[in-house]
């Protein structure tokens, strides 16, 4: 079975440019999470969806960040305009709401560098 798929794996862009990160969750999973990992702040939640509905976006740094989940098999995280401090690894993870243990399975991450 395919795991969580993220694209691109690496992104280098210049300050001010728009960046779009993509995620395909594991088929059948109905919760999707976006996390960001930096050396300074560790792993932190940005936003999560249950059944395609955004539940909590309080972790989104500011209005420059937005996320959508138009259907059960696709989500995007957009940064516009990007800034150097957005440089980080962005992970998408999915889980099954009805699962007793609710393990989240992570994609390989997108390593973003904003120059």
Helix (H, G, I), strand (E, B) or coil at 22: strand
Q: Which residues contact 30 (CB under 8 A, 6 or more apart)?
A: 50, 51, 72, 96, 97
Among 15, 97, 113, 115, binds another protein (CB under 8 A): 97
Interface with another protein (CB under 8 A), residue total 29
Q: Tell me which stretch binds another protein (CB under 8 A): 13-21, 62-70, 74-82, 92-100.
A: 92-100
DSSP, collapsed to helix, strand or coil, labels residue 9 as coil
44 to 83: interface string for another protein, x by CB under 8 A: xx--x-x----xx---------------------------
């Amino acid at each position: 079975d395919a795991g969580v798929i993220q694209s691109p794996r690496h992104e280098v862009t210049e300050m001010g440019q728009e960046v779009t990160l993509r995620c395909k969750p594991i088929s059948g999973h109905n919760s999707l999470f976006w996390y960001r990992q930096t050396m300074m702040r560790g792993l932190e939640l940005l936003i999560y969806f249950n059944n395609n509905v955004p539940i909590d976006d309080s972790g989104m740094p500011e209005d420059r960040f937005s996320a959508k989940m138009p259907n059960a098999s696709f989500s995007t995280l957009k940064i516009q305009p990007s800034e150097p401090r957005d440089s980080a690894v962005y992970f998408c993870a999915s889980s099954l709401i009805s699962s007793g243990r609710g393990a989240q399975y992570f994609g390989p991450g997108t390593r973003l560098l904003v120059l």
